[in-house]
Amino acid sequence: MLASHPKGVVVTAWVVPGASRDEVVGEHDGALKVRTVAPAEGGKANRRVAELIAQALGGRSGIVASGSSSRRKQVVVFGVTLAAASAALGVVRHHP
């Protein structure tokens, strides 16, 4: 689910666009499950999911690096270490 990146971390995410609210839910099939109210059109859901994951892990910002048209995405979060992201993810897993 998490991997090191030269500028931060890479997160494997499972995205549910068009949800009733924005939230980082926890784990789903080896990925971080994220729901967003943003629709899956024009990259809106991708941008919002990158923001939500960056906020949840304590990073500066994030971008969808791959899987832009799929529910399963690779999101690069900038400005966070693997250790800090793992710690933050542990909190997310235990407190959805």
Tokens standing for residue 11: 């997160």
Rounded to the nearest 10 degrees, the angle between the axes of helix 44-57 and helix 82-94 is 100
Q: For the chain, list the domains and their CATH numbers.
A: 2-94 (3.30.1200.10)
Tokens standing for residue 23: 């939230």
pLDDT tens-digit series, residues 23-80: 999 899 999 999 999 999 999 999 999 999 999 999 999 999 999 999 999 999 999 9
Residue type, 64: V
Global pTM value? 0.92
Residue type, 11: V
